[in-house]
Amino acid sequence: MSLFSIKNLKKSSVYITPNFPTLETKRYKIKFFRLVRYFILLIIALVLILAVLFTYTPLNKIIMYLENEKILLQTERIELLENRVVILINELNRISNVDKRLNYALTLGKTDSLDSTAAIYDSLRKTKGNIIPPGGSILFAFENLYDRYFSDSLFFIKPINSIVGRGFNPENGHLGIDYLVKEGTPVFATADGTIIFADYTIENGNEIIIQHDNNYVSIYLHCSALLKSVREDVIQGEIIALTGNTGTNTSGAHLHFEIWKNLKPINPEGLFIN
């Protein structure tokens, strides 16, 4: 700033005209630099007053308490978000594991052999002994004869005694049949087999899958409760679950039932016997 400008500021003044409801109006003239000094002194006085208040009054504690409350609130929110993230990660991991086991279970129905290195899936498949007992056995010979000539004759019973609300229609993406039942109705194993999947899935809710002989697999969806676990052997007609309305792919209590052979869905109604 030039010297001429500083001199002009020294000579300049500020006029203040209060707006009082009186007949006379007075104007107050204040030098510019004097007004600046007053303003600086006012700021210093405010700083000193606040310093005294913070030092000798409870104002400091009150403000610190409010700040601590905000910090605690923010900390609680952060912890809540962290817990939600952990829950979400665990749920995603669980869903991933369920999907892996479900895919493995469906693949399992196509083959009679298991990967020996997959320890988590060992003993899932129900197998019959193929070693002839010492000394031979007439019963063993009869079983082998039956398995050789009649093993393809596998019969199924209805998993539930109810009305079919929607039939088998693979062209429209419906790979099974829907039984209209109230929630909590017992569901029966359609044939002898071994449970190879029993868990909750997002779309199908509580789902249970049974592996049968001759590469047959039966699937039961939207159950309210599963009464059997993976690796359990079941016999035909045994209660394995209760009907329900679980999963996103359902709009009411019913049992969706499917039968697959060699990873291909087939119409269950063509396999039932009375």
Residues 171 and 102 in one domain: yes
Out of 31, 56, 81, pick the residue that ends a domain: 56
| 241 inside domain | yes
| 73 inside domain | no
99-117 per-residue burial string, b: 16 or more CB within 10 A, e: under 16 = eebbebbbebbeeeeeeee
CA distances 75 to 68, 86, 97, 260, Å, are 10, 16, 33, 53
Count: domains in the chain: 2
Question: Among residues 18, 44, 9, 230, which one has the least CA distance to residue 122?
Answer: 230
pLDDT tens digit sequence for 226-256: 999 999 999 999 999 999 999 988 888 999 9
Sign, Cα dihedral of 66, 71, 73, 74: positive
Question: Among residues 244, 265, 113, which one has the least CA distance to residue 179?
Answer: 244
| 68 inside domain | no
SS (H, E, C) 23-75: CCCCCEEEEHHHHHHHHHHHHHHHHHHHHHHHHHCCHHHHHHHHHHHHHHHHH
pTM over 0.85? The answer is no
- Using the structure block, give the residue that is written with the tokens 């006085």: 45
Can you give the CATH number for the domain in which 255 is found?
2.70.70.10
Residues 47 and 152 in one domain: no
- Using the structure block, give the residue that is written with the tokens 């109006």: 25
pLDDT tens digit sequence for 34-80: 778 888 888 898 888 888 777 777 766 777 767 777 788 888 888 88
Taking each helix axis from N to C end, the angle separating 32-56 and 59-108, rounded to the nearest 10 degrees, works out to 70
Q: Which residues in the chain show pLDDT less than 50?
A: 112-135, 148-151
Name 155's Cβ contacts closer than 8 Å, sequence gap at least 6.
191, 271, 273
Q: Let me know if 190 is exposed, middle or buried by CB neighbors in 10 A (0-12, 13-18, 19+).
A: buried
Residues 49 and 122 in one domain: no
What integer pLDDT is reported at residue 218 of this predicted model?
94
Q: Which domain holds residue 149?
A: 91-274
What integer pLDDT is reported at residue 103 of this predicted model?
67
| 117 inside domain | yes
> Radius of gyration over alpha carbons of the chain, in Å?
41
What integer pLDDT is reported at residue 234 of this predicted model?
94
Q: How far is residue 96's CA from residue 109's CA, in Å, rounded to a whole number? A: 20
What integer pLDDT is reported at residue 128 of this predicted model?
44
CB 210 within 8 A of CB 193: yes
What integer pLDDT is reported at residue 24 of this predicted model?
67
| 65 inside domain | no
Cα first-last separation, the chain: 108
CA angle 100, 233, 155 (to 5 degrees): 100
Residues 265 and 205 in one domain: yes
Secondary structure letter of residue 214 according to DSSP: G
Residues 46 and 170 in one domain: no
Residues 147 and 47 in one domain: no
Tokens of 107: 């693949």
Residues 250 and 203 in one domain: yes
